[in-house]
């Protein structure tokens, strides 16, 4: 004989409000969310600086910097700052 037990929600689980990917169970922001926001800011900064402020770069180098900013945003921002801004 099988019994059907009611599934009770765990009192420690986060509410199902659609934002579990941002908030931890105790109300803090997840580190992945912070890293994603920082990566987005870095990518936008590099792309903006390459297109607007760095007129001396060739078109090919601009494309390389932009592709790298999209793929490896934080590392590219650090390298871009060290290479291009210190000229």
Expressed as residue numbers, the domain containing 67 is: 43-84
On whether residue 56 sits in a domain, the answer given is yes
pLDDT tens readout for residues 4-29: 565 555 555 555 556 566 666 666 77
Count of domains for the chain: 1
The answer as to whether 60 is a domain residue is: yes
| Mean pLDDT score, 66-82 | 95
CB under 8 Å to 29, separation ≥6 — which residues?
22, 23
Confidence of residue 35 (pLDDT cuts 50, 70, 90): confident
What mean pLDDT is reported for the chain?
80
**Tell me, what's the pLDDT at 26?**
66
In a domain, 61, yes or no: yes
| 47 domain-assigned | yes
Question: What is the CA angle 21-25-27, rounded to 5?
Answer: 90
The structure tokens listed for 19 are 């934002």
25 occurs within a structural domain: no
**Residue 54 belongs to a domain:** yes
Q: Is 14 a member of any domain?
A: no
């Amino acid at each position: 004989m099988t019994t059907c037990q009611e599934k009770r929600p765990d009192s420690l689980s986060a509410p199902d409000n659609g934002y579990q990917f941002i908030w931890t169970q105790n109300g803090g922001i997840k580190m992945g969310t912070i890293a994603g926001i920082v990566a987005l800011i870095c990518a936008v900064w590099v792309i903006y600086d390459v297109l607007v402020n760095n007129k001396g770069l060739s078109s090919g180098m601009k494309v390389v910097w932009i592709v790298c900013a999209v793929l490896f945003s934080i590392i590219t921002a650090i390298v871009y700052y060290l290479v291009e801004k210190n000229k």
